[in-house]
Amino acid sequence: MFRVLLVVCAVLLARDAGAQVPTGDVARGERLFKELQCASCHGSTKAGGTAAPGLLKRDDPAYTPNALASAMWSHAAGMWQAMEKAKVQRPQMTPAHAADLFAFFAGAPRVDKPGNPAQGGKVYQAKHCASCHDEPYLGAPNLAAQAGTFSSFSMVSSLWQHGGGMLSRMVAKNTEWQKFTPEEMSHLIAYLNTKRP
Ligand code: HEC
Ligand code: HEC
């Protein structure tokens, strides 16, 4: 009985600590960067390509997974347009892919300080997430059902899988695409991981 309780506690603690975050791998990230055609616009050097900014940020200690996630969310609308123009198909990106790409950009895996759920709740309201995701009749998925699974890398993956659908709903609702700082992204993730239905 006691052992069962211990296991239950361990599972609950793991859930509260956030998602199972994949560990990135620099070499895999470098391969993906070419295979997913990121290099065709972003170039393979620190300076970047002619069509898009450079992504190799090895010597910047402030460059964390949430810096990547927030930059991608902030620039997604512009990037989707560039991809449509260049007729590059948006690739499928799993959280593991995102972790590998991050490791390649940063030169090594790195972690963020955990965010604050209460502040994340404010971000969730201020960036209009609630206006769709907490109104079930609008057809956006209920994010509370995925509490405990959110991480910087799941946010990157969701953006690539669902960003197109989200963007077209936002245009339809006349909601502007939002920009994020890395801190806002940390708080938002902490909030989503503790979100109750
Ligand atoms: C067709 C060209 C194109 C392709 C392909 C492309 N991007 Fe981009 N990307 C852009 C452009 C253009 C921007 C800047 C958009 C803006 O600021 O409005 C951008 C912005 C970004 C940013 C934010 C940059 C910043 O300021 O820090 C990240 C991160 C990023 N892209 C990652 C990727 C990854 C990873 C891939 C491959 C899976 C990829 N991109 C593929 C054109 C592209
Ligand atoms: C205009 C409505 C709208 C707004 C605003 C909006 N979303 Fe979404 N979101 C959607 C829809 C619709 C989908 C499903 C899109 C699809 O699959 O094509 C979605 C999908 C998602 C997913 C993927 C869920 C899954 O099942 O994997 C995440 C994560 C997400 N949104 C987070 C956010 C966050 C965080 C914000 C605020 C910054 C936000 N959304 C703002 C409509 C919205």
Tokens encoding 53: 């900014």
pLDDT of residue 138: 84
Three-state DSSP class for residue 53: strand
Could you give the CA distance from residue 39 to residue 93 in angstroms, rounded to a whole number?
15
Alpha-carbon distance values, 79 to 58, 72, 73, 105 (Å): 22, 9, 10, 18
Q: Is the CB of 94 under 6 A from ligand 2?
A: no
**Residue identifier of the C-alpha nearest atom 37 of ligand 1:** 38
Q: For 100-151, how does the pLDDT look when each residue is reduced to its tens digit (9 = 90+)?
A: 999 999 998 889 999 999 999 999 999 999 999 999 888 899 999 999 999 9
d(CA 191, CA 187): 6
Residue 18, pLDDT score:
52
42 in Cβ contact with 52 (< 8 Å): yes
What's the CA gap between 90 and 187, in Å, rounded?
Answer: 28
Q: How far is CA 160 from CA 15, 16, 107, 113, in A?
A: 25, 26, 23, 24
Q: Calculate how far, in angstroms, residue 42's C-alpha sits from the geometric centre of ligand 1.
A: 7
Whole-number Å distance, alpha carbon 156 to ligand 2 midpoint, is 12
Atom from ligand 1 closest to the CA of residue 67 = 27
Mutation choice for ligand 1 from 35, 37, 38, 42, CB with most ligand atoms inside 8 A: 42
* Ligand at shortest distance from the CA of 65: 1
Look over the chain and give the mean of its residue pLDDT values, rounded to a whole number: 88
CA distance 4 to 31: 43
What confidence score (pLDDT) does residue 29 get? Answer: 97
The reported pLDDT for the residue numbered 9 is: 42
Task: Supply the pLDDT for residue 50.
Answer: 87
Q: What is the pLDDT of residue 19?
A: 59
Q: Report yes or no: 68 and 155 within 8 Å, Cβ to Cβ.
A: no
Residues of the chain scoring pLDDT < 50:
1-17
What's the pLDDT at 7?
A: 43
Ligand 2 center to 10 CA (angstroms): 30
